[in-house]
Amino acid sequence: MERRRLSDVEIDRGLSDLDGWELRGQRLHREYRFRDFPSAMTFMNTVAVEAEALDHHPNWNNVHARVEIELWTHDRGGVTEFDLELARRCARIAAILA
């Protein structure tokens, strides 16, 4: 994967199979709601392992059973393939915990 900033068309194409994710400004955004706090923490801990493997880390916030995530590539000033890949991994992890 390259860290090239994607065009709006490329981002739209990438988001087409990512339910609940949207582009807000130059960032991907998604809010997940889990059944309880431990489930939210399990999600975050599992995503943390994936993010570390990609060397690409989310900006996120947790309140009880809710996890809000923003993804963008800081040094590119927008969305790259790394952001879409981490969003895909988040979606797979959330589906397992649902």
User: Using an 8 Å Cβ cutoff, are 28 and 8 in contact?
Assistant: no
Predicted TM-score of the model (pTM): 0.94
pLDDT of residue 1: 75
Supply the mean pLDDT for the chain: 96
pLDDT of residue 3: 85
Task: Lay out the sheet containing 27-33: strands in order across.
Answer: 22-24, 27-33, 66-71, 59-63
Using CB atoms within 10 A of its CB, is residue 46 exposed (0-12), middle (13-18) or buried (19+)? middle
- Taking only the tens place, the pLDDT of each residue in 26-67 is 999 999 999 999 999 999 999 999 999 999 999 999 999 999
Task: Inform me whether the pLDDT recorded for 22 exceeds 90.
Answer: yes
Domain spans of the chain?
8-97
CATH class of 8-97: alpha beta
